[in-house]
């Protein structure tokens, strides 16, 4: 079963209705976009860009702008704890302390940056996701696209937990984004619910032979 389908069910969405629903699941390695209606998938696409690519974008940015080398796990911690897609009143004064190895001296070193640095680092991966959303919307039958614009797009997966990701994606696509209360567990919850109701959701399962 595709992750966004499980995510939709786990988020409590009724995808059996004749209106269109778009779910975007941002995982570690991929971002999966799916549009569902009448209990089936109208279109879906998967891009090889997710939370790991955001970590790499932070690493690259800190290396280029601050000449500091940090590892992937350090970048992931920074992203989760102080990362943001957008600088705003409630985070603009946060100091982000980052320890790493200075590129020129080779010595351990610490820098202090602000959330604006992180937001700038994440601009490219977020723009890529927004591009794919726009392409998906353009390819849809107009009435289905209109449903999605009315209802908003549902965002799940660990990537949905990035601070203000919904605000930035809404700004870039012109469509509102909704984040369910537990975006990390939607897929697991939905897969469980689907198993319990396998007769009703059989047409949503992918043939994996
Ligand atoms: N609070 C957070 N802010 C930003 N990214 C997060 C947050 N929590 C988890 N993530 C990211 O979400 C990704 C994992 O999401 P998940 O849906 O569990 O992925 P997968 O389905 O690929 O296992 C990781 O890249 C992780 O860094
Ligand atoms: Mg997942």
Q: Which two tokens stand for residue 5?
A: 């389908």
Predicted TM-score (pTM) of this structure: 0.94
CA distance 86 to 162: 10
Collect residues with CB below 5 Å from ion ligand 2: 27, 157
Any ligand 1 atom below 6 A from CB of 10: no
Nearest to 23 by CA among 187, 188, 189, 163: 187
Nearest to 151 by CA among 10, 11, 3, 1: 11
Any ligand 1 atom below 6 A from CB of 157: yes
pLDDT given for residue 40 in this prediction = 86
CA of 159 to the centre of ligand 2 (A): 9
What crossing angle do the helices spanning 186-196 and 3-10 adopt, rounded to 10°?
90
Name all domains of the chain by residue range, CATH numbers in brackets: 3-50+141-204 (3.30.420.40), 51-121 (3.90.640.10)
**What is the number of the ligand closest to the CA of 27?**
1
Identify the burial level of 47 via C-beta atoms within 10 angstroms of its C-beta, where 0-12 means exposed, 13-18 middle and 19 or more buried: middle
CA of 144 to the centre of ligand 1 (A): 29
Question: Measuring from atom 21 of ligand 1, which residue has the nearest CA?
Answer: 27
Q: Ligand 1: which of 25, 159, 163 to mutate, most ligand atoms within 8 Å of CB?
A: 159
Question: Measuring from atom 19 of ligand 1, which residue has the nearest CA?
Answer: 27
pLDDT given for residue 203 in this prediction = 66
CA angle 63–66–72, rounded 5-degree value: 40
CA of 71 to the centre of ligand 2 (A): 23
pLDDT given for residue 3 in this prediction = 81
Mean pLDDT by 10 residues, the chain (209 residues): 88 92 96 93 95 98 97 96 93 90 96 94 98 97 97 97 98 98 95 87 59
Any ligand 1 atom below 6 A from CB of 164: no
CA of 95 to the centre of ligand 2 (A): 31
Q: Residue 7: what are its φ and ψ, rounded to 5°?
A: -60, -40
* Helix spans in 140-185 (H): 142-151, 165-173
**What is the number of the ligand closest to the CA of 55?**
1
pLDDT given for residue 1 in this prediction = 81
């Amino acid at each position: 079963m595709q992750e966004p389908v499980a995510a939709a069910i786990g988020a409590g969405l009724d995808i059996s209705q004749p209106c269109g629903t778009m779910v975007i699941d941002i995982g570690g390695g991929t971002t999966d976009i799916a549009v569902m209606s009448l209990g089936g998938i109208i279109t879906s696409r998967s891009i090889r860009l997710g939370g790991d690519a955001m970590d790499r974008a932070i690493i690259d940015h800190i290396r280029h702008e601050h000449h500091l080398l940090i590892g992937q796990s350090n970048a992931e911690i920074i992203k989760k704890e102080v990362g943001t897609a957008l600088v705003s009143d409630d985070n603009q004064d946060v100091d982000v302390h980052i320890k790493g190895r200075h590129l020129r001296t080779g010595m351990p070193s610490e820098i202090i940056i602000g959330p604006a640095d992180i937001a700038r680092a994440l601009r490219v991966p977020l723009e890529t996701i927004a591009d794919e959303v726009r392409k998906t919307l353009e390819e849809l039958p107009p009435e289905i696209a209109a449903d999605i614009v009315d209802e908003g797009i549902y965002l799940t997966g660990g990537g949905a937990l990035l601070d203000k990701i919904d605000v930035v994606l809404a700004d870039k696509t012109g469509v509102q984004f909704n984040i369910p209360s537990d975006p990390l567990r939607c897929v697991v919850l939905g897969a469980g619910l689907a198993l319990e109701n396998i007769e009703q959701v059989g047409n949503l399962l992918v043939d994996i032979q």
